[in-house]
Structure 1
């Protein structure tokens, strides 16, 4: 069975360009064709479906025990048996950029592949080359894009789950 190439391989060139763009570069524009203006660029967010956002931003998939990219809620259970209950928000520990980066460093320092994978499962994270952008916050800057959220029914599905919970 063939495996997918690592996502980081594809986005490394983009990250290198964004590092340069963060510091700025001179560009002539239609308003200033003779005198270049300083242009700076930054990645504001990553908007895509859930599997792609997890791969790009360094989180494990939605079926992982720690499958949420916004909190540390553990969904206990085996393959196909996850318990997604326990929606008491006051009991959820929210993720943040600082702790996320510290945990990724801990994962990266693992001596063996097995221990690295164990830490990835424990924390629900893995290294993403996007972390090389010092300003990038994978927790806040990872969003579910409008197409998947509205047109494919993700928002409606969540609303129906909430309505069913309130009527039960």
Structure 2
């Protein structure tokens, strides 16, 4: 394990500032790319020639995009693997997604780096959603393939938490139980027995237009709630 450094808070660094910090890491990684000779190690008392690379960038979504030089998750190009725009975010046909290409990414990043003014940088970043990252100085590094969202942020603190708390309502704010009873914030008024009997018989008969009848505005929702319970 290698500690490169600790960046003080309380707010995150700007893109220019974080590139200064990354340049220190890139400088040492380039030495290992060429190869480093250790005069003595625990397993090799006579010395050992070693090479090393940094492949995966593992972090949360916000840090990954800033370090790798991508735009935010709400920008025009929200994905780090394809060129689908934010207007088409609901497109689930994977074969229609235009693929990100490394050579195009590098060209856009280098063009951003060569800008002569902050205004030009902002214009290019808005146009392509790509800016220069110091990690691109590593000849082997591919930001499209090597930028990985770690499972803790993406799953346990994101999808799993949302699914459990919002969908399954497993939360301290909700009264617990074995799941056999339904709880509502306000008590649902109990309809007449005759009304319950009427709708229960309709459900048992199961006519072709049952779904239309159950979802109609005139359907007593309180009767359906008590039937389901």
TM-score (norm 1): 0.80
Q: Extract unaligned runs of 5+ from structure 1.
A: 77-82, 159-168
Partners of 1:155 and 1:65 in 2: CA distance: 27
Note if 1:31 corresponds to 2:40. no
Q: Extract unaligned runs of 5+ from structure 2.
A: 1-10, 164-229
Partners of 1:32 and 1:134 in 2: CA distance: 29
Listed one character per residue, the Cα deviations across residues 48-71 of structure 1 (whole Å, up to 9, x for unaligned) are: 000000011110111111121111
Partners of 2:89 and 2:112 in 1: CA distance: 25
Aligned-residue offset at 1:153? 3.4
Note if 1:68 corresponds to 2:79. yes
Tell me which moved more, 111-120 or 132-141: 111-120
Aligned pairs (5 A) from 1:34-45: 35-45=46-56
Aligned pairs (5 A) from 1:113-132: 113-132=118-137
Note if 1:140 corresponds to 2:145. yes
Larger Rg: 2
Aligned-residue offset at 1:157? 6.2
TM-score (norm 2): 0.60
Listed one character per residue, the Cα deviations across residues 86-105 of structure 1 (whole Å, up to 9, x for unaligned) are: 23222211112221101112
Aligned length: 150
Partners of 1:157 and 1:70 in 2: CA distance: 24
Partners of 1:3 and 1:149 in 2: CA distance: 20
Which structure is richer in relative contact order (CA contacts within 8 A, separation 6 or more)?
1
